[in-house]
Amino acid sequence: MKKVKDYLQLMKLSLSIMVVFSSVISFLLTQGSEQYVLNRWTMVFLLFVGGMLVTGSANAINQVVEKDTDAMMKRTAKRPVASGRMSVAEGWAFAIITGAAGVFILGHYFNWLAAGLAAFSLFLYAFIYTPLKKVNSIAVLVGAVPGALPCLIGWAAGDGNLGVGGWVLFAFQFFWQFPHFWAIAWVAHKDYSTAGFKLLPADKGPTKFTALQTILYSLLLIPVTLAPFFIGMCSYEGVNGIISLSLIGLANLFMIGRCLTLYRKMDVASARQVMFGSYMYLPVVMLALLLAKV
């Protein structure tokens, strides 16, 4: 049982679920998902499993590569590889097996475009973003790409192409990550500095500039979250459309409000509110879009 718990921790289970959730919703937003009339939820399950395996693989590689820095930080020191409960070789074996299995599931049951995007996302996160974190804060920009690719993976799984709707969802999750991740970096600034991570946009650490950036990216989310209604992916008519637009509007106001509070107070408590607020914001908007699907 302890070994299973270690493997789940290696995958970063809660983070992986959140990532795959956006892929599943993106899949359900496609017209192509309608073809699976009889086995739609079976396909959703397969997409979830494939996505979890690929995401878990990327997170496992991240922990293997960063085992020394993880050991230096209080919040990550108890991770299986960093603590020594799991060997580097075992971590690599787990990552290779889960990654290959996840890509195969996506390619075999859906299409190889979705599988290829998943493999590219894994590579970008594990081998480009992870080492770049110690080099320059541009790592956050690079990391936002694999962080948003699950939306394109879900879209490709449903429609077999990279349509406009997929790119809109990609842009939504791409912009969302900046206030989300900078809030995390703000809260964990001391730990990250100890480990040598450079993740905040200002070299001096948490500053007004960082807080201002969270506001700007939250404002960018407004047109992106409304775009699905203008490209015909969602409808603003009827009860569902009104409820959807209302939820999205309130969610955007909520997110901007938390970022404004961070700018005004400049403290860890406010950054933590942005962080937890962003966790709520993403599923609310995604589910609101699904409610108004045409």
One domain for residues 167 and 155 = no
Q: How remote is the C-alpha of 239 from its chain's centroid? A: 30
Q: Which of 163, 153, 157 is nearest to 35 (CA)?
A: 157
- 84-103 pLDDT tens trace: 899 999 999 999 999 999 99
Do both 115 and 187 map to the same domain?
no
In single-letter form, the type of residue at position 140 comes to V
If asked whether residues 219 and 288 sit together in one domain, one would say yes
**Residue range 170-198, pLDDT digits in tens:** 999 999 999 999 999 999 888 888 878 88
Mean pLDDT, range 263-279, rounded to an integer? 96
The count of C-alpha atoms lying within 13 angstroms of the C-alpha of 66, restricted to the half-sphere facing its C-beta, is 29
Structural domains of the chain, count: 2
Half-sphere exposure of 123 (CA within 13 A, CB side): 8
Please tell me whether residues 102 and 65 are part of one structural domain.
yes
DSSP 177-202: HHHHHHHHHHHTHHHHHHHT---SSS
C-beta of residue 131 within 8 angstroms of C-beta of residue 195? no
Residues 206 and 135 in one domain: no
- What pLDDT band is residue 273 in, cutting at 50, 70 and 90? very high
Answer with the one of 162, 189, 206 that is the final residue of a domain: 162
| Same domain assignment for residues 8 and 31 | yes
Q: How far is CA 104 from CA 13, 48, 108, 127, in A?
A: 20, 13, 6, 20
Instruction: Find the CATH number of the domain harbouring 55.
Output: 1.10.357.140
Cβ atoms of 62 and 125 within 8 Å: the answer is yes
What's the CATH number where 257 sits? 1.20.120
Q: Are both 96 and 187 inside the same structural domain?
A: no
Is 219 found in the same domain as 126? no
* CA atoms of 98 and 11, how far apart (whole Å): 10
- What is the domain range of residue 43? 1-162
Main-chain phi, psi angles of 141, to 5 degrees: -65, -45
**Tens-place pLDDT, residues 222-270:** 999 999 999 999 999 999 999 999 999 999 999 999 999 999 999 999 9
Most confident of 74-78, 154-158, 191-195, 205-209: 154-158
CA distance from start to end of the chain:
45
Confidence check: pLDDT of 42 > 80: yes
Domain-ending residue, one of 118, 134, 162: 162
Do 144 and 208 reside in the same domain of the chain? no
Indicate the residue among 114, 142, 162 that finishes a domain. Answer: 162
